[in-house]
Structure 1
Amino acid sequence: MAPEKPGGQLAAHQGLSVNEVMAKGGAEKPAERLVLAPKPVDLTEEDQPLAGIVAPSPVVRSEAGVSLEESDAEPLTPQMASIRALAEALADGVAPLAAQEAQVETVTPVAVVVPAEPVTAVIEAVPEVTAVEDNIVAEPVKASLVSTSLRPKLRPAAFKAVAPAATEAAVLAALTSEAGSIPVGTRLVQLGAFDSAEVAGREWERLVTKFGEYMDGKERVIQRAESGGRVFYRLRAMGFADLSDSRRFLCGACGRARRLYSCGEQMSRFGASILDADGHQLTREERAFFRDVNPFGFILFARNIGTEAQVARLCDQMRDAVGREAPITIDQEGGRVQRLRAPLWREWLPPLEQAELAGENAARSFYLRFRLIAHELKRCGIDSNCAPMLDIAFPETHPFLKNRCYGTDIAAIAEIGAASSRGMLDGGVLPVAKHIPGHGRAVADSHFELPSVDIGREELIATDGAPFAAVKDCPMGMTAHILYPQIDERPATLSASVMELIRRDLGFDGLIMTDDISMKALNGDLGDLSRAALLAGCDVILHCNGTLEERRTVAEAAGEMSDAAQERAERALALRQKPDDIDISAIEAELEALLNGRVYDS
């Protein structure tokens, strides 16, 4: 609120005088003259459209060579007089322009058509456009004046504007999808932005050629966009079932593209490790670590499990970290060993109990069981399972393992194992046969100590190893931390002799991962154990339940896969497929009938 008598004088702030108040403490006096804009410049005849110019009257010249029109004109300025003299000197001896035939210039517009080679579309040529109306005739020009104005020519009013927009629109329609034709809520993955629709189309064809397994079933979308006055074309893909599906595509196709060597098509090798995480989501440190070491895959445990959506997000984070569709596995045997549990997931009977209930229908019942398990896993983003477990149940088998077995008969176990593997593969999940070459005779828990099984090579091949020979086409297998003193003084995981038996005598040529390298059955430094396992013939080191530094030690010791391991890994990943359609209620009804009403554990 201002005082009644503030003192001083009010400054007459006008225009930029306010700057003087800030600089000197007082206002300048009012400006004596304020110029709003310069006087407009009058247009000459040359600046007007051709249609608005009135043809001048014929010029009649006297015998003296001076036109009658000019005789009444005002005196020329010195500048105009010099121009006139130059013009007359140039025109001396030249026939008047009026005597020449008027030339009407025909302008044919050039319409640039972008070839749409990747798309089969027919584009009609634009008819030639005559630039000037037929009834336009050039008017005579005074011979005494300069024939060409120094000013740039304006487009005559009678000219037709050349509009190649129809051709561009035809090209764009052939290559692109209109934004309005795509339903609201459609999930799109952007693959890049390009200067033209044609270039975007060629890039799509290149991606389809290189990454066909990822692009299958996807539709191309090319959309025109404008930003900052620049027009460009977005290349996008659509055809995704849900958000997780689109993220997996982005990590798979685009992530693989990012990992190609600049000198060729060879993909960067996988790290020879499978690693775990601490919780429900990756920490910043875990993301950076996984990005650096590029593990072949990941494994989940109960500490990683919350809800279906949470598990799916965690799987996305893991795949985002390595920039590809890395396999993610879990122990979901059913029974005592299963990480996904009620109330969100099914609680299964112990495998040995189910096999006994189903009797001669055991193989079919396990196919149905693992088809349902695969369905649950895929909904969470998990695409591998550490099953089937093909260890034989002996009278002396340790309790931690016994009811996880499928029985005591080698042929029945082999049949159940093969059926279980088919159930998972049909559901898009890669099976892992374990614990090769057999853990059933162990009387100790290898999580805490090293079991010793005193049998020879031939007996091991004929008994414990036989179920694994029956499923030798299984994409992956897991070793047993068992000591066979008659074969080697080293545990099977670290024994070149046992690994040779697995490959040569059992014929198993899938990717072989170790059981958890940090289990107490193995003594020593994690890095040394990892190197020893790879040297013995394992392809991948599985490490669980360790600190970030322990994981780092294992990953650095494991390094990248060997040539043979990389080949087996790629062969295993190629077996991942889109799950076939199933009727859940029908499968459950059939399984219930086979098990006399007992499908799930109470």
Structure 2
Amino acid sequence: MAEIDFNAMRGSGGHDAPPSPKTILNWAGGLVSLTLMAGLVTWGYQVVMRDVSGVPVIRALEGPMRIAPDDPGGRQAEHQGLAVNRVAALGEAGPPADMLQLAPAPVDLAGDDRPVIAPPPAEAAAYAAADEAAPILASVGGAATPVPDADGGALFEGDDLSAAAGPAAETLAADDVEGATEAALPLPAGALRQSPRPRTRPQEDFAARAAIAAARAAMTAPVATEIAAESVAVGTALVQLGAFDSGDEARAVWDSLASQRRFSGFFTDKTRVIQTVDRGGKTFFRLRASGFADMAAARRFCAAVSAEGADCIPVVAR
């Protein structure tokens, strides 16, 4: 056998050949793969052990957990000790108080502290005329003293006027007082000279009003006309308003519907029909209405009644 000469594979200097780029890439890829595998193993281990090693440790505080306050009553809050709060705190009302103190009256502004509004020119002229008439009244009345009213006009008291000397002086004083009063109290156009007294509320009897309304409704309600179910011809268009246990109950329902305002005019020209039916050993009464030209009119009637909230079914007499 031929022998392999390994020395021939080496370089001319007897050294190994330099690694090729492909070999370097293979080694680099292997190192990267090993690094990724090691990282995955480490990450997986940390995830598995997180529940065991990641539990936080709470260190107990030194000293007692709670300390009683120096004042057992605690801090005083607003509105504490009121009787209304006792109901919410203890569930029962407290005993009546020995002394009740009312709240002080609200502070109001005095007349001098309120804002003063200058009077209109017409009122200012009237006040000036009243001031000019004051000396005349004083000279005529003698000892009578003018009493200023709330609007600034000069008026005399009745006793002082009667004490004036002589009937002529009384007449002159009365004329001057009337003229001064008219001059001192001018009213603008359209002003209210005397406010009307409010009218008292009449005491109404609501029970009587309800009785009167019920009587009027009964008087205006149409009188129901009833025919026997056997007299209705076969094929006649009817509407059924319900089935009841007795005929009186069916008639009461008809009267109730006819008297309601929302059904006003629906049952005026309609005839009541009560049909007795025995089925399954039980007897019941059908409340029906007749007076329709055809089945289309019955359907329109039922549509209008159903829109107002009542039961209605168009049927044909058999």
Q: Which has the higher helix share?
A: 2
TM-score over 0.5 (shorter chain): no
| Rg (Cα) greater in structure | 2
